[in-house]
């Protein structure tokens, strides 16, 4: 089936009408940094492409008081340059900043990072730690789903007639911080070999009272590391606790990745990545406590 039509979408309503009309024969193109490669390698063969890159209503980053809403058409560079993502949301800023190259960051969108569904997508572990909600639209209406369930449940994936419109999450409290660490094959332009995001909160005594840990490329999809969270909750972050935490994480990984050629390498690398993300989080919390 050859490409017959390319539509330049003017607004969300028009795009969902087109998706309803063409269904599986249509594909959305946002920044094109994934889909153009898929087209070139004949991995996909749509009849219709719907370009959403100039739809303003998809490009906003809205500070809604307790919540932040990010349009699906927002680029990695927009996140990196937005002051909302400096302090205790630095982990999302860092994840976006470590994507590909400046050109990729200028074009690539968070919506494309999510919809493409790669286990190595860098924005996902931080968005999982923030318990983000995805808003999807079709002529049938609006669908809200947690990003964690979106990845966990095949039935919840984006449907051919759906457009991802926005990603929303509650702002972390002042004494909570989101951090991120990624290991790529080389400093720049590197797809993640693995990544870790941590959202953590300590009490006055330095005990963990709230923790969310999510990983990328350590399983079929980006996911929460629940066993590690349960182990760390209520503990002080002493060296022995961190050492034991690494073992808990490695055991959880082994259940998922044993037998994979990459497992021995990732088992060693995850130690350093977890410690890097934790150290960055502690550095921020020490600063805010001063
Ligand atoms: C050289 C290079 C380096 C890269 N490095 C990294 C990296 O370090 N980390 C990383 O995470 N990624 C990396 N990527 C992958 C890519 O840049 C990201 O996944 C990016 O977020 C894709 O966004 P896009 O807007 O370009 O998506 P597109 O290519 O336009 O679309 C990707 C997919 O999502 C669908 N889609 C896009 N937007 C929507 C929407 N709003 N609603 C419904 N479906 C939608 C499209 O139909 C398509 O199937 C790299 C890519 C390249 C080429």
CATH number at residue 14: 3.30.43.10
How far is the centre of ligand 1, averaged over its atoms, from the C-alpha of 175 (Å)?
33
CA pair distance 269, 255, nearest whole angstrom: 17
How far is the centre of ligand 1, averaged over its atoms, from the C-alpha of 235 (Å)?
38
- Residue 47 and residue 77 in one domain: no
Structural domain containing residue 250? 176-289
**Residue 3 CB less than 6 A away from ligand 1:** no
CATH number at residue 104: 3.30.465.10
- Residue 165 and residue 240 in one domain: no
pTM: 0.96
Domain end: 144, 170, 196, which one?
A: 170
Q: Mind listing the pLDDT tens digit of every residue in the chain (290 residues)?
A: 689 999 999 999 999 999 999 999 999 999 999 999 999 999 999 999 999 999 999 999 999 999 999 999 999 999 999 999 999 999 999 999 999 999 999 999 999 999 998 999 999 999 999 999 999 999 999 999 999 999 998 888 999 999 999 999 999 999 999 999 999 765 555 566 899 999 999 999 999 999 999 999 999 999 999 999 999 999 999 999 999 999 999 999 999 998 999 999 999 999 999 999 999 999 999 888 76
**Residue 78 CB less than 6 A away from ligand 1:** no
The 3-state DSSP class for residue 63 equals strand
CB 5 within 8 Å of CB 25: no
- Residue 67 and residue 157 in one domain: yes
Q: Tell me how many domains the chain contains.
A: 3
- Residue 191 and residue 222 in one domain: yes
How far is the centre of ligand 1, averaged over its atoms, from the C-alpha of 199 (Å)?
25
Going by the DSSP 8-state scheme, the letter that residue 136 receives in this structure is E
CB 285 within 8 Å of CB 207: no
Kindly state the tokens that stand for 33.
């940094």
Q: Where are the alpha helices (DSSP H) in 71-204?
A: 76-81, 90-97, 102-107, 110-115, 124-129, 147-152
- Residue 180 and residue 164 in one domain: no
**Residue 15 CB less than 6 A away from ligand 1:** no
């Amino acid at each position: 089936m050859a490409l017959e039509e390319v539509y330049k979408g003017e607004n969300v309503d028009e795009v969902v009408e087109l998706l309803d009309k063409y269904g599986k024969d249509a594909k959305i193109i946002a920044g094109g940094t994934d889909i153009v490669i898929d087209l070139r390698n004949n991995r996909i063969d749509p009849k219709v492409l719907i370009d959403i890159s100039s739809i303003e209503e998809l490009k906003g980053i809205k500070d809604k008081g307790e919540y932040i809403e990010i349009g699906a058409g927002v680029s990695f560079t927009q996140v990196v340059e937005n002051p909302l993502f400096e302090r205790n949301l630095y982990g999302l800023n860092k994840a976006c900043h470590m994507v590909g190259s400046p050109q990729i960051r200028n074009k690539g969108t968070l919506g494309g990072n999510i919809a493409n569904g790669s286990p190595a997508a860098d924005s996902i572990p931080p968005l999982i730690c923030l318990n983000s909600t995805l808003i999807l639209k079709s002529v049938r209406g609006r669908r809200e789903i947690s990003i964690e369930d979106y990845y966990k449940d095949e039935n919840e994936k984006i449907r051919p007639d759906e457009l991802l419109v926005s990603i929303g999450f509650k702002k972390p409290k002042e004494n909570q911080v989101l951090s991120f660490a990624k290991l790529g094959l080389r400093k720049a332009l590197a797809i993640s070999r693995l990544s870790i995001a941590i959202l953590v909160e300590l009490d006055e005594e330095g005990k963990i009272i709230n923790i969310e840990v999510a990983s990328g490329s350590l399983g079929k999809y980006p996911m929460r590391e629940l066993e590690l969270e349960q182990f760390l909750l209520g503990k002080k972050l002493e060296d022995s606790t961190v050492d034991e935490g690494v073992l808990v994480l490695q055991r959880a990984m082994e259940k998922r990745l044993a037998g994979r050629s990459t497992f021995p390498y990732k088992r060693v690398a995850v130690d350093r990545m977890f410690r890097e993300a934790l150290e960055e989080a502690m550095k921020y919390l020490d600063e805010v406590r001063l």
